[in-house]
Each structure stands twice: as structure tokens, then as C-alpha cells.
């Protein structure tokens, strides 16, 4: 059994109204981040008239790393706040990469700060480098808020360790996600230590005011977008499971009903974080893309069973309450810059591509979809795709393994043969990381500029 959702013309009209000039805030945002870091260094410089002796140099190196660590902590939390300007315009995957990179730098700076400051204190007390552990214990016992800072540093270290690639891949997603939330507690605990023992804030009231303002602004953004906005969304739309339909072996569609869902602000190509209030699933929140444009009373996600949570979706019963956060993601029509568009999907990456295939405005022949799967039996939603292609005059192609298991040729040469003017297309790409990378390289070889290859990875 398969699901069939109609209504593409209305969805295309809605999409056309949302198309806006392409612009990327990434560069100005990065410039602002570097300007903030420069301001932190300037704060240290103006409050450091002179440096004398080995212990002075080491302590001041510890001050610099501590100030930069405190600044980056605020950015790490900001990147977790799901601010729409970042999520929709920069892209969730790019923000996630920024978050991971900032987190690594923050942890390194925190560890360097602890080592350098404790080393400097030890030298001032006439101790050797080998006495750093004893000096650390004495400092935690004697200095204000150092105990909180020590706990915060320990929590950051735990979060950093579970985020290491090999550890992360062996850990259940829900465990990793909930451990990751300790970042909030770590930053809260470390903040008070910065204010009470930071020399720069003690001698410069304006700096203390700015620091309070920075952390207060980030806190407000987190509370607004991670707590209050989802509460408002779910109270307004009151979503429940309408039905669960098997599309192909191992892939199911979940139809979700609610009130005025088309006013949620979701666009084709975006995803939400879904929590199903069923036994054993209440504490799990996972990102799944919409596999059809939002209807007034219906949303749909299509999911492949690749983990415990996704495998249990087939067990959902009609009437199950649904809690959602979002919508997120920048893989939308707003990225389009050309009249012709190629959509490339690999496996379950067809879900956002199917929604875009339905809604992207275009004349006959403007939209092409290339669907890669292991076999024709794995082509989920194929009947719907064929119907959309027929109604719109769009081109629909698939690439599957041969009977003997040989993979299809998706190279620059084969793409140019199938689509002669591919270099004049925008390309939307979604699929597993290895597939996406190989297709990206083929597209670049076929002459498609990097700025017109639009891709988001939802690996969390």
C-alpha cells in the first residue's frame, strides 16, 4: 500500500510567494564572530599594562585562553538555540558544523586555561610544575565559584568525549543527545567563575556589563526558540498520528493531522524534530524531513528503519499525540537561482526531494528528478513521483543496481549525456554522505558551479 497526496498547484503557489533573492548571511556572521574575538583580545590588552616574569607570562596566557573560552561558550550555546535566521538561511547542517567546531575549540581553550592558570599560581606559590594537581585542589577549595567551574569543566569534558567520532557512532542517538544537553549546565556553572574571579571584569565595569548582556541575550534566545516557540506551535496545531503506511519494505510514511498545519511556516525541503508520545518513544526526538508539502490538516514524513526509533514508527497507532519542533533547514526553493532545476536523491533522501519535486515552480521540462536506489523495489513513493512528473511535464529518472549488483554510472560524463545543459541547472542534492560526496564531485566535473549545488546533511 502507498500513500498519495494531491494538491501540488496550491503548494506551488505558496512556494512562489516564498521565493526571495538568494543571500547568504554566513560571511557577515563570521565577520561578527571574529570581531567579537578581537574585542575580547582588546579587553585583555587594555587591562594588561605590563607582564613580568615567567609566572606573569603563563598567567596572562591563561587569561587570554579563559576569555576566549568564555566567549566561545556563548557562541556554542547560541548555535544550539535553533534561531530561524541561522537555521533557515545558513542551513541546519552548516550551523551544526559550526557548533561542533566551536565546541572543540572551546574545550581545548578551557583545558589550556586551567593548565596555564594553575601552573602560574603554582609558580607564584613557589611550587613546581609537578604540583599543578595540588594547586588545582587548593584553588577549587579557596577561590569563589571555582567549585562550580570545576564541575562545569568536567561536564564539558564528558560532552567532548562522547562527541568524538568513534564514540559517537557506537552510542545510541538518544543517549548522545541527552548527554549533549549537559552543555547548558556546564556553561551556566562556568559563567559565575568568569565574573567573580576574572581580573578583566573586576577592573572594567563596562566589560562585565557586556558579558552579562551577551550571556543574557543567548539565554533568552534559547528559552524563546527551544522552549516557548515549540510550546506555542504544539498548542496551536495539536498534532496527532492519522495513519502509518508501509511504502516499501523497511520504509513507512507517517501521516500527521492537526489544525491549520499549512500555517506552520514549513516549506518543502525542510524538516522538523519529531517526538511521538507513545510508550518507549516519549523521550526521543528525531529529525525527519517532510515528504510532501504541508496541507491544511495534514503533514507527512517518510522514514527508513535504520535505528531503534525509526524502526518503531511502524508501531504507532492512530491518535498518538505528536510533539514537534521546527521547521528547520535551508534546502528550500529560496536557494534557487536558475529556471531549470535538477533534484538528486539517494535512498530515503527522496523525502525532501519529493516535496520539492511537487512544489518547485516551473514550466514543462524545467524540473528533473534523478532517484538512486539499490533496486526498483526500493524506489519509495515512485507512484506519486510518476504522477507528479506526468501532471507537470517534469522528467523522472532512476538509477538502480544491475541484476548482478553492479552500481549505476553517475559520473560527470553520464550526467552530461542525460542532461545536456546540466551546467545551466540549479541542483538540489540529498542522500547518504558517501553518495552525496560522489554526486557532488560528478556535478562539479559536469560544469555545475559549487554555488548552485544545494545540499544539507541531516547526520546528527
pLDDT for 25: 56
Give the domain CATH number at 112.
1.20.120
Q: Is residue 423 part of a domain?
A: yes
Q: How far apart are CA 328 and CA 337, in angstroms?
A: 21
DSSP for 275-305?
Answer: EE-STTTTT--EEEEBSSPPBTTEEEEEEE-
* Whether residues 398 and 260 fall in one domain: no
pLDDT for 2: 46
pLDDT for 5: 54
* Whether residues 313 and 266 fall in one domain: yes
Q: Are 69 and 116 in contact (CB under 8 A)?
A: no
pLDDT means over runs of 10, the chain (460 residues): 50 44 62 88 82 85 92 93 81 84 93 91 80 84 86 92 86 85 92 84 83 94 95 96 91 94 89 92 89 91 86 93 92 87 92 93 91 90 93 92 88 93 93 90 93 75
Q: Is residue 302 part of a domain?
A: yes
Contacts 24+ apart (CB under 8 A), 121-128: 121/59, 123/54, 123/55, 123/58, 124/55, 124/59
* Whether residues 206 and 75 fall in one domain: yes
Which cell goes with 35?
Answer: 570581531
Look at the block and give the residue holding cell 541546519: 92
pLDDT for 351: 92
H/E/C letters for each residue in 240-255?
Answer: EEEEEEEEECCEEEEE
232, 257, 280 - which closes a domain? 232
* Whether residues 128 and 217 fall in one domain: yes
* Whether residues 427 and 361 fall in one domain: yes
* Whether residues 282 and 351 fall in one domain: no
292, 310, 328 - which closes a domain? 328
Q: Is residue 19 part of a domain?
A: no
Q: How far apart are CA 100 and CA 75, in angstroms?
A: 11
Q: How far apart are CA 435 and CA 441, in angstroms?
A: 10
* Whether residues 95 and 208 fall in one domain: yes
* Whether residues 166 and 35 fall in one domain: yes
pLDDT for 9: 53
pLDDT for 458: 54
232, 264, 290 - which closes a domain? 232
Q: Is residue 13 part of a domain?
A: no
Q: Is residue 434 part of a domain?
A: yes
Put the strands of the sheet holding 322-328 in their side by side order. 286-289, 271-276, 322-328
* Whether residues 399 and 432 fall in one domain: yes
Comparing CA positions, the residue from 39, 349, 335 lying closest to residue 207 is 39
Give the domain CATH number at 293.
2.40.30.10
Comparing CA positions, the residue from 115, 27, 46, 113 lying closest to residue 73 is 113
Comparing CA positions, the residue from 349, 255, 352 lying closest to residue 299 is 255
* Whether residues 404 and 308 fall in one domain: no
Comparing CA positions, the residue from 148, 69, 163, 57 lying closest to residue 110 is 69
Instruction: Please tell me the total count of domains within the chain.
Output: 3
Give the domain CATH number at 360.
3.40.50.80
The residue segments making up the domain with residue 212 are: 26-232
Q: How far apart are CA 276 and CA 312, in angstroms?
A: 10
Q: Is residue 363 part of a domain?
A: yes
pLDDT for 104: 93
Q: Is residue 4 part of a domain?
A: no
pLDDT for 19: 39
Q: Is residue 3 part of a domain?
A: no
* Whether residues 349 and 218 fall in one domain: no
* Whether residues 427 and 448 fall in one domain: yes
Partners of 298 in the β-ladder: 257, 295
DSSP 8-state secondary structure symbol assigned to residue 376: G
**Is residue 327 classed as helix, strand or coil in its secondary structure?**
strand
Amino acid at each position: 500500500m502507498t500513500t498519495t497526496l494531491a494538491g501540488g498547484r496550491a503548494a506551488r503557489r505558496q512556494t512562489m510567494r516564498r521565493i526571495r533573492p538568494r543571500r547568504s548571511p554566513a560571511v557577515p556572521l563570521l565577520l561578527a564572530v571574529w570581531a567579537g574575538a578581537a574585542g575580547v583580545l582588546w579587553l585583555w590588552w587594555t587591562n594588561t599594562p605590563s607582564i613580568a616574569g615567567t609566572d606573569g607570562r603563563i598567567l596572562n596566557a591563561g587569561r587570554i585562553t579563559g576569555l576566549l573560552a568564555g566567549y566561545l561558550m556563548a557562541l556554542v550555546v547560541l548555535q544550539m538555540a535553533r534561531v530561524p535566521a541561522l537555521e533557515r538561511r545558513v542551513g541546519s547542517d552548516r550551523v551544526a558544523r559550526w557548533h561542533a567546531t566551536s565546541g572543540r575549540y572551546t574545550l581545548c581553550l578551557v583545558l589550556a586555561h586551567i593548565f596555564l592558570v594553575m601552573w602560574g599560581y603554582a609558580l607564584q606559590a613557589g611550587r613546581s610544575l609537578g604540583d599543578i594537581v595540588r594547586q588545582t585542589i587548593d584553588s577549587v577549595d579557596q577561590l569563589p565559584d571555582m567549585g562550580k567551574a570545576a564541575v562545569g569543566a568536567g561536564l564539558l569534558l564528558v560532552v567532548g568525549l562522547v562527541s568524538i567520532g568513534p564514540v559517537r557512532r557506537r552510542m545510541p542517538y538518544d543517549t548522545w543527545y541527552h548527554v549533549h544537553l549537559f552543555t547548558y549546565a556546564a556553561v551556566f556553572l562556568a559563567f559565575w567563575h568568569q565574573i567573580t574571579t576574572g581580573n578583566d571584569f573586576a577592573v572594567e565595569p563596562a566589560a562585565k556589563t557586556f558579558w552579562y548582556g551577551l550571556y543574557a541575550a543567548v539565554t533568552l534566545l534559547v528559552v524563546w526558540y527551544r522552549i516557548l516557540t515549540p510550546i506555542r506551535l504544539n498548542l496551536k496545531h495539536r498534532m496527532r498520528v492519522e495513519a502509518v503506511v508501509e511504502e516499501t519494505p523497511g520504509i513507512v510514511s507517517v501521516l500527521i493531522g492537526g489544525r491549520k498545519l499549512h500555517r506552520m511556516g514549513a516549506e518543502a525541503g525542510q524538516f522538523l524534530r519529531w517526538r511521538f508520545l507513545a510508550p518507549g518513544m516519549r523521550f526521543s526526538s528525531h529529525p525527519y524531513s517532510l515528504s510532501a508539502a504541508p496541507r491544511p490538516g495534514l503533514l507527512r514524513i517518510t522514514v527508513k528503519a535504520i535505528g531503534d526509533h525509526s524502526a518503531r514508527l511502524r508501531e504507532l497507532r492512530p491518535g498518538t499525540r505528536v510533539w514537534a519542533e521546527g521547521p528547520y533547514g535551508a534546502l528550500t526553493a529560496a536557494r534557487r537561482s536558475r529556471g531549470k532545476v535538477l533534484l538528486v536523491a539517494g535512498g530515503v533522501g527522496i523525502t525532501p526531494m519529493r516535496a520539492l519535486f511537487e512544489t518547485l515552480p516551473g514550466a514543462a521540462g524545467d524540473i528533473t528528478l534523478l532517484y538512486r536506489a539499490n533496486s526498483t523495489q526500493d524506489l519509495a513513493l515512485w507512484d506519486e513521483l510518476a504522477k507528479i512528473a506526468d501532471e507537470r511535464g517534469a522528467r523522472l529518472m532512476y538509477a538502480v543496481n544491475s541484476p548482478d549488483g553492479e552500481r549505476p554510472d553517475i559520473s560527470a560524463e553520464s550526467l552530461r549525456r542525460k542532461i545536456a545543459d546540466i551546467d545551466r541547472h540549479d541542483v538540489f542534492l540529498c542522500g547518504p554522505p558517501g553518495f552525496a560526496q560522489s554526486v557532488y564531485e560528478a556535478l562539479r566535473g559536469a560544469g555545475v558551479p559549487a554555488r548552485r549545488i544545494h545540499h544539507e546533511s541531516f547526520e546528527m
